[in-house]
Amino acid sequence: MHLDLSDAGFNRDPYPALEALRAEGPAVRDDVTGAWLVTGYDECTRVLGNVDTFTSEQPEGTGPGVFGGRVFEVIDSPRHDEIRGVWAADFQRQRLERHRPSIERIVDDALDEFVPRLLDGETLDAIEHLTRAIPTRVIAVLLGIDEGDQRQFSDWSDAMGAVAGALFDPSERGREILRAGLEATKQLNAYIADEVAKRRDRPGDDLISKMVTSPVAGTMSEAEIVANNTQLVFAGNETTAKWMAHTLVTLARHPDQRRALVAERARIPAALEEVLRYETVAQIGKRTVRAEGAEVGGVPIPLGDTVTCLLGAADRDPARWARPAEFDTRRPAKNHFGFGFGLHYCLGINLARLETAIWLDHLFDRLPAWDLGGEIDYGINFVLRGPVAVPMARAA
């Protein structure tokens, strides 16, 4: 079997192909790439949770990576915890509450521009005009970035996010998107490098200052310090913006459940978790076998082989969820792969939950109903799957 991750039809609705793959067994070798494809929830937890056997680490000397330096996301050793630990306290739920007023202001600013135009009869792309800038502006606040620079921040992050899809696109357009993304990363790195220098002289209570004044910074190269901050910008934007986009589409397609949420706002967090289970953003967890005797579901996996955990399939595993292909905001709560698993569980999980819950609650205040103004294009970025555009219109 072979999954063509660059096929737009597959990315629009990958689940029939993923279910056919599930029927083939717990670990199926891709005929073209040679990677082992895993669809089961339990099997994926065992792969992602066992760093001694399955690693995501890039060896020293393999290059600086897309962010211009080695980041903690590609480190499995204790070094991962050292770097991540610099920011861990700042992403705890209670500590993030101090940023609630700023997040509410950012959300309301976006809604102030978007909702009146929609109610006046325009059909607008919600990604371009509503969801895209919110997560980037939020992470910019945590990084201590000047408000006047936040729009440029968002543009850089968007260009970086498009790179994953461009890697599957051999056309000239794909190559241009790739060039633009790499240039955006370069410019963002230069901006972050300037901010790092400023915080060394005048540290504050922001994430950049926390990094440069930490004991860990003394063991990091300048490129590593910059790259880890740049990664934070990207991670804080791309997945959360796509989560919001999936929410708009899914609730438009399930208006009865949307109406129930409008009437019972306390259920918003649970509903958002169900969106992320039902339409997983980060679809792939890739690992390399680094120990002899590896197996997945009883299937032996040779040393050096790649194991690709298909997290969207795992989040619809019928062995874990009843009626997994149905969207149900009243589904009993269970852990899903929307924020990863194991050592590389998402650092920003509490921030993403806070800002999406604020966003949806405030959206319901102003726009309790909406329609989709056209077909939804999911592009070809299966790695971080989400709508390319969400045409929204006022409800009929």
Tell me the average pLDDT across 276-289: 96
pLDDT exceeds cutoff 50 at 157: yes
Whole-number pLDDT of residue 302: 97
**CA within 13 Å, CB half, 18:** 27
% pLDDT > 90, the chain: 75
The residue-averaged pLDDT of 360-369 equals 98
**Which pLDDT does position 179 carry in this prediction?**
87
Q: How far is CA 222 from the centre of its chain?
A: 26
What is the DSSP code (8-state) at residue 148?
A: G
Residue 59 has pLDDT above 80, yes or no: no
pLDDT higher for 353 or 133? Answer: 353
Record the tokens describing residue 375, joined without a space.
């077909």
For 172-189, the pLDDT digits (tens) are: 888 888 888 888 888 999
**Coil, helix or strand at residue 350:** helix
182-233 tens-digit pLDDT: 888 889 999 999 999 999 999 999 999 999 999 999 999 999 999 999 888 8
- Rounded Cα gap, residues 231 and 159, in angstroms: 13
DSSP assignment letter at 279: T
- What pLDDT does 164 receive? 67
What tokens appear for 195 in the block?
């901010």
Range of weakest confidence among 113-117, 215-219, 324-328, 344-348:
344-348
- Secondary structure of residue 252 in the 3-state scheme: helix
* pLDDT band, residue 65 (cuts 50/70/90): low
Mean pLDDT over all residues of the chain? 92
pLDDT at residue 64 is higher than 60? no
Residue 381: band (very low, low, confident or very high) from pLDDT cuts 50, 70, 90 = confident
Give me the percent of the chain exceeding a pLDDT of 70.
Answer: 97
* pLDDT at res. 149: 85
Residue 62: the pLDDT is 45
Could you state, in order of their start, the residue ranges of all structural domains in the chain? 8-55+65-394
Tell me the pLDDT tens digit for each residue of 8-22: 899 999 999 999 999
pLDDT value at 61 more than 60: no
Of the listed ranges 18-32, 138-152, 310-324, the least confidently predicted one is: 138-152
Q: Look at 394 and 77; give whichever has higher pLDDT.
A: 394
Spatial CA neighbour of 285 closest among 221, 343, 371, 212: 343
257/235 Cα distance (integer angstroms): 29
pLDDT above 90: residue 6: no
Question: Which of the following CATH numbers is that of domain 8-55+65-394: 1.10.630.10, 3.30.930.10, 3.60.15.10, 2.60.40.1120?
Answer: 1.10.630.10
Query: What pLDDT is stored for residue 185 in this prediction?
Result: 86
User: Do residues 371 and 248 lie in contact, with contact meaning Cβ atoms separated by under 8 Å?
Assistant: no
- Give me 310's structure tokens: 């298909």
Cβ proximity of 309 and 28 under 8 Å:
no
pLDDT band at 171 (very low <50, low <70, confident <90, very high): confident
